[in-house]
């Protein structure tokens, strides 16, 4: 079995896609107005409207889940944080060094999901 993707269900595909385009410095593939995806490495981050899962039944997937942290490993946490320049109200953790050595910054995407920009300590 291979891990393929994570899909975030949102009521505002355009806003969430624009946010992740800024974070990833890449343009999402947009096969439809209801769906966007970022492919990199071995996995895909997909962003979709609730309409894309409607056939599965009412309430199967909604745009109100704040239980996932989307993580991006970066070379320079402080530099990426400054580049993205998040609204201070969306910052959950300014760039900090964690007790285990990772450098990390946590911010919220337009839907309130946590996004972790992190780097591992040099070995």
Per-residue pLDDT at 1 exceeds 70: yes
pLDDT per position as a tens digit, 61-84: 666 667 789 999 999 999 999 999
Q: Where are the domains of the chain?
A: 1-57, 66-123
Q: What is the pTM of this model?
A: 0.88
Strands 91-97 and 103-108: antiparallel
- pLDDT score for 46: 95
DSSP annotation of 28 reads: P
> Domain 66-123 adopts which CATH fold?
2,3-Dihydroxybiphenyl 1,2-Dioxygenase; domain 1 (3.10.180)
For residues 22-42, give the mean pLDDT.
Answer: 93
- Do 1-57 and 66-123 agree at the fold level? no
Structure tokens at 50: 């609730």
For residues 87-113, give the mean pLDDT.
Answer: 95
> Domain 1-57 adopts which CATH fold?
3.30.720
Neighbour-count burial for 49-62, b at 16+ CB within 10 Å, e otherwise: bbebeeeeeeeebe
Least confident among 4-8, 50-54, 98-102: 50-54
């Amino acid at each position: 079995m291979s891990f393929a993707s994570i899909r975030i269900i949102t009521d505002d595909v355009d806003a969430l896609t624009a946010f992740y385009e800024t974070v990833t410095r890449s343009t999402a593939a947009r096969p439809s107005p209801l769906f966007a995806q970022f492919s990199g490495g071995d996995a895909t981050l997909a962003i979709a409207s609730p309409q894309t899962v409607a056939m599965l039944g009412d309430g199967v997937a909604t745009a109100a889940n704040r239980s996932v942290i989307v993580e991006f490993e970066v070379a320079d946490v402080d530099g990426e944080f400054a580049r993205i320049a998040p609204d201070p109200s969306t910052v959950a953790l300014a760039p900090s060094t964690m007790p285990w050595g990772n450098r990390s910054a946590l911010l919220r995407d337009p839907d309130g999901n946590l996004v972790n920009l992190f780097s591992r300590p040099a070995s």
